[in-house]
């Protein structure tokens, strides 16, 4: 199948702008086209930069050449991490205060940088981070057309079916969801009737919002609530935006399920993703099991590793397709 990717040169340039010191040099060691296979960059103080790719892990040596040998890999310093955090936040880390409380910031290009380190706790909640010791950059790949084979299984006549996309972290469910949203909004890839799609993008990963600008193509009939908790966002959209479809990523909280139930009752179509290995795995999650028992979702899409294959189940959990 022919997919259209966001230019790999753009991804590399976005990462070069957002990193410093040894980390920046490590990013530069990989060519433009190699970024299509890199999905995560893990950065830890006094440890090598780890590039996680579809071909395994890579490092860089002291000459800034890529290598698979961790024994000759160059280590990151605290100064490298501090400089990178400054660049990621455009020297205004306080502007990302709300995101930091949730353990990440979204950088240019819509890439999400998770962080760990010393937390400052106030009233039982994370107020901010002190000494940041590690960064995990999850690279946002926009791949137009990647949901083309899935679309026929979540449509019936001119309607979209309530769908739950299931996969472990890092298998591409957000990439698939983004492309489904675009197709429904634009009426492409077999979607016969364009629809108004509303998205609650709690982590800024679907639209790729950075400093008020959405980097990803999510369709001309799509409206996004960015950096908004999913449950609150769904309630707001139902009241004010008259959506045909609501899409949310990574459901899992009690309040998410309650808001989803209210959306079902209002007649709006839901397309959601959740972490899990299978329907049985998701069913074991008590807060989700009632939705499955009630057959609220008409389709379950279980993704294989890195979205290379998928399995489709109907509302009763009966397998109706398995393939690439």
124: phi then psi, degrees, rounded to nearest 5? 80, 5
| 180-213 confidence digits (pLDDT tens) | 999 999 998 888 889 999 999 988 889 987 777 7
Query: What per-residue confidence (pLDDT) applies to 157?
Result: 84
| 308-323 confidence digits (pLDDT tens) | 789 999 999 999 998 8
The span from the CA of 167 to the CA of 157, in Å, is 27
Alpha-carbon dihedral 163, 270, 294, 250, rounded to 10 degrees = 70
* Structure-model confidence comparison of residues 307 and 30, the more confident one: 30
Beta bridge partners of 197: 222, 245
Q: For strand 245-248 and strand 269-275, is the pairing parallel, antiparallel, or unpaired?
A: parallel
Question: Burial level of 288, CB count in 10 A (0-12/13-18/19+)?
Answer: buried
Total Cβ atoms within 10 A of residue 122: 10
- ∠ Cα 55 87 199 (to 5°): 70
| 223-274 confidence digits (pLDDT tens) | 999 989 999 999 999 999 999 999 999 998 999 999 999 999 999 999 999 9
The span from the CA of 130 to the CA of 140, in Å, is 27
Residue keyed to tokens 């909004």? 185
Q: Are 304 and 320 in contact (CB under 8 A)?
A: no
Query: What per-residue confidence (pLDDT) applies to 127?
Result: 81
Sequence-separated (6 or more) residues with CB below 8 Å from residue 2: 145
Q: Are 128 and 38 in contact (CB under 8 A)?
A: no
The span from the CA of 58 to the CA of 255, in Å, is 40
Query: What per-residue confidence (pLDDT) applies to 93?
Result: 76
For 184, the token pair is 């429904």
For 60, the token pair is 């860089």
* Structure-model confidence comparison of residues 236 and 172, the more confident one: 236
Query: What per-residue confidence (pLDDT) applies to 4?
Result: 47
State the DSSP code for 131.
E
3-state SS, residue 322: strand
Q: Are 135 and 81 in contact (CB under 8 A)?
A: yes
The span from the CA of 270 to the CA of 248, in Å, is 8
- Domains, the chain, ranges and CATH? 4-138 (3.30.450), 143-323 (3.40.50.300)
Q: Are 211 and 218 in contact (CB under 8 A)?
A: no
The mean pLDDT of the chain is 90
């Amino acid at each position: 199948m022919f997919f259209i990717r966001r230019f790999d040169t753009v991804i590399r340039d976005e990462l070069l702008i957002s990193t410093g010191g040894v980390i920046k040099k490590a990013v530069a060691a990989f060519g433009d086209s190699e970024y299509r296979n890199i999905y995560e960059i893990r950065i830890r103080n006094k440890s090598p930069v780890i590039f996680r790719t579809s071909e395994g892990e890579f490092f860089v040596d002291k000459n800034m050449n890529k290598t698979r040998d961790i024994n000759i890999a160059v280590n990151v310093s605290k100064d490298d991490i501090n400089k990178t955090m400054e660049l990621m936040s455009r020297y205004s880390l306080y502007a990302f205060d709300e995101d930091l409380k949730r353990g990440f910031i979204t950088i240019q290009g819509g890439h999400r940088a998770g962080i760990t380190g010393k937390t400052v706790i106030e009233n039982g909640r994370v107020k901010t981070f002190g000494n940041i010791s590690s960064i995990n950059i999850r690279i946002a790949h926009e791949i137009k057309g990647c949901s083309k084979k899935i679309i026929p299984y979540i449509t019936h006549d001119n309607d979209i079916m309530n769908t739950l996309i299931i996969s472990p972290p890092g298998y591409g469910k957000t990439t698939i969801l983004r492309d489904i949203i675009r197709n429904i909004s634009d009426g492409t890839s077999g979607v016969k009737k364009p629809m108004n799609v509303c998205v609650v993008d709690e982590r800024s990963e679907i639209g790729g919002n950075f400093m008020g600008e959405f980097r990803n193509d999510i369709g001309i009939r799509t409206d996004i609530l960015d950096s908004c908790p999913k449950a609150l966002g769904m309630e707001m959209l139902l009241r004010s935006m008259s959506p045909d479809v609501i899409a949310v990523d990574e459901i899992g909280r009690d309040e998410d399920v309650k808001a989803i139930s209210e959306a079902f009752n209002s007649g709006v179509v839901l397309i959601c993703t959740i972490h899990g290995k299978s329907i049985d795995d998701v069913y074991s999650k008590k807060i989700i099991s009632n939705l499955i028992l009630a057959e609220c979702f008409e389709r379950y899409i279980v993704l294989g590793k890195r979205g290379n294959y998928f399995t489709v189940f109907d509302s009763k959990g009966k397998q109706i397709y398995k393939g690439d």
